[in-house]
Amino acid sequence: MNRLWLRLALAFGLVTLVAVMAAALLANYQVSTDFRRYVFHNQMMQSTLPATLADYYAGAGSWAGVESVLDNVRGQGMGMGRGMGQGNGRGMGGPGFALADAGGRIVYTATGERVGSYFDEQELASAVPISLRGQTVGYLAASAPGNQFGLTAEAEAFLSQINRSLVQAGLIAGLLGVLLGAVIARGLSAPLGRLAAAARRIARGELSQRVPVQGATEVADLASAFNEMAAHLEQAEQLRRNLVADIAHELRTPLSVVQGNLRAILDDVYPLDKEEIASIYDETLVLNRLISDLRELAQAEAGQLSLNLSPTDLPPLINGMVDRFRELARQKQIELNTTLPAQLPPVSADTDRLQQVLHNFLSNALRHTPAGGRIDITTDALPAAVRVSVQDSGSGIAPADLPHVFDRFYRADKARSREQGGSGLGLAIARQIIAAHGGQVGADSEVGRGSRFWFTLPLK
């Protein structure tokens, strides 16, 4: 009973049954009323009462005193012609008809309640006209045709048959509603069942699960959102595995060197002197830098990177950082140029963190620019920010690698070692630092024409 499709099917059937039964009740009331009015009209046309009333009007010249005639008719309850006074033992002289003059104003009712009021359009349409010499002088109508008049056994049977037909139609419609509702409900609930099954499989670690996007718009949107979530989970799991593998790989190399050198010293392969100890110490520095980079990246991604923001003029900061690399650029025969506007608005930045980003961009540019190349550092004033760009003339980055250059441990050249290509964390850290400042980072590149790395900082 707790199944969604079963609930929906019962709801469809109940709504259909209620709607049909309500329509049947209204139809029964209207049919019964109209049928009794028809019977009354037919009986009046076959009776002598209209002629009697016409004779009375011809003699009196008005309807004044007509109560004596109608009361006498009510008292007799007969003489009304074929079909009158039959059914349930009640006569047509009972309290059930009203007389109105030619203008529709009621002059007589059995109870006297409506005398002086007027027939409505429906009552006039169903009333029996009383004519005298071709002119209508009054109307005789049922004052309360719903149940006031007796019907013949045949008429009662006819109404009963109509009522039974309406009830049967309601039951059939309700049954069809349940069946149709079950079909529709199954169609609606089936995608939800597939979603639940796929969610359970994902909970068991089967992240490749997807569901077909079909059905109603809302259900299709839900399936599409589920597939998107599953794809992100799968991607996150893959990134997690890659991160663990990359960290293990990055830690293994210096640890292997330290372990090998120590083993060699213990086995008297290497002498225990300061030179050998210095090489082991260098490897511990590599480990320390890697662990520091990982800690800093974790803090940045968790939003816990502390910033000491202050109004900062970029030209002096950029020139100071470029001066640190001039000697290295000269040794590698690389031209290092800066293009900085004289009037550049200050930005809100942490100078130490900003120097870290610039250091990473410039060291990467020098590493990938061949001898005889050039590196250009430029700044541009944007409407609400300042953009700093580092353009090199190196070999460029392949389009397949460009979207991943800011990912952790990513190297376009898989064969590049840590000593040759860094830890693979510098650009990831730079992206988090700039994001903490409220800016953006990006990279543009074309194979054979160099690369441009840039970041933006909001104005003070």
Do residues 333 and 375 lie in contact, with contact meaning Cβ atoms separated by under 8 Å? Answer: no
Region 4-32 average pLDDT: 74
pLDDT, residue 145, reads: 46
Rounded CA separation 47/83 (Å): 8
Q: Which two tokens stand for residue 292?
A: 């520091």
Rounded CA separation 143/150 (Å): 14
pLDDT, residue 76, reads: 53
pLDDT, residue 417, reads: 46
Set out the domains of the chain in order of their start, with CATH numbers: 4-153 (3.30.450), 217-301 (1.10.287.130), 310-458 (3.30.565.10)
Q: How far is CA 92 from CA 31, 106, 156, 259, 260, in A?
A: 20, 19, 16, 121, 123
Q: What is the dihedral of CA 394, 432, 406, 319, to 10 degrees?
A: 0
pLDDT in tens, 143-180: 654 444 556 677 778 778 887 887 787 778 777 877 77
Q: How far is CA 262 from CA 267, 286, 287, 379, in A?
A: 9, 17, 16, 50
pLDDT, residue 411, reads: 59
State yes or no: pLDDT of 235 exceeds 50: yes
What lies within 8 Å, CB to CB, of 327 at 6+ separation is none
pLDDT in tens, 39-60: 777 777 777 888 888 888 888 8
Rounded CA separation 209/204 (Å): 11
pLDDT, residue 81, reads: 40
Rounded CA separation 124/139 (Å): 7
Q: What is the dihedral of CA 362, 366, 372, 373, to 10 degrees?
A: -50
pLDDT in tens, 268-293: 887 888 887 888 888 788 788 778 77
pLDDT bucket at 356, cuts 50 / 70 / 90: confident
Q: Which of 430, 456, 423 lies closest to 356 in space, CA to CA?
A: 430
The pairing of strands 335-339 and 374-381 is parallel
Q: Which of 205, 34, 225, 199 lies closest to 125 in space, CA to CA?
A: 34
pLDDT, residue 284, reads: 84
What are φ and ψ of residue 359, in 5° steps? -60, -40
HSE (CB half, 13 Å, CA atoms) of 13? Answer: 17
Q: Which of 380, 408, 377, 381 lies closest to 391 in space, CA to CA?
A: 377
pLDDT bucket at 74, cuts 50 / 70 / 90: low
Residue 83: burial class (beta carbons within 10 Å; 0-12, 13-18, 19+): middle
Q: How many residues does the chain have?
A: 460
CA 255 vs. chain centroid, Å, equals: 53
pLDDT in tens, 416-457: 444 444 556 788 888 888 988 889 999 998 888 899 999 999
The amino acid present at 282, given as its one-letter code, is D
pLDDT bucket at 75, cuts 50 / 70 / 90: low
Do residues 345 and 386 lie in contact, with contact meaning Cβ atoms separated by under 8 Å? Answer: yes
- Higher pLDDT residue, 141 or 413? 141
Do residues 389 and 451 lie in contact, with contact meaning Cβ atoms separated by under 8 Å? Answer: no
Rounded CA separation 129/136 (Å): 6
Q: Which of 189, 174, 280, 276 lies closest to 5 in space, CA to CA?
A: 189
Do residues 270 and 257 lie in contact, with contact meaning Cβ atoms separated by under 8 Å? Answer: no
- The answer to whether the pTM exceeds 0.75 is no
Which DSSP category does 104 fall into? S
pLDDT in tens, 76-122: 543 444 344 443 333 343 446 788 999 989 988 877 788 889 888 87
What lies within 8 Å, CB to CB, of 264 at 6+ separation is 270
pLDDT bucket at 391, cuts 50 / 70 / 90: very high
pLDDT in tens, 319-342: 998 998 999 999 999 999 998 887
pLDDT, residue 358, reads: 92
The amino acid present at 61, given as its one-letter code, is G
pLDDT bucket at 3, cuts 50 / 70 / 90: low
Residue 372: burial class (beta carbons within 10 Å; 0-12, 13-18, 19+): exposed
Do residues 339 and 377 lie in contact, with contact meaning Cβ atoms separated by under 8 Å? Answer: yes
pLDDT, residue 389, reads: 94
Do residues 145 and 37 lie in contact, with contact meaning Cβ atoms separated by under 8 Å? Answer: yes
Do residues 181 and 9 lie in contact, with contact meaning Cβ atoms separated by under 8 Å? Answer: yes
Do residues 189 and 25 lie in contact, with contact meaning Cβ atoms separated by under 8 Å? Answer: no
Rounded CA separation 80/91 (Å): 9
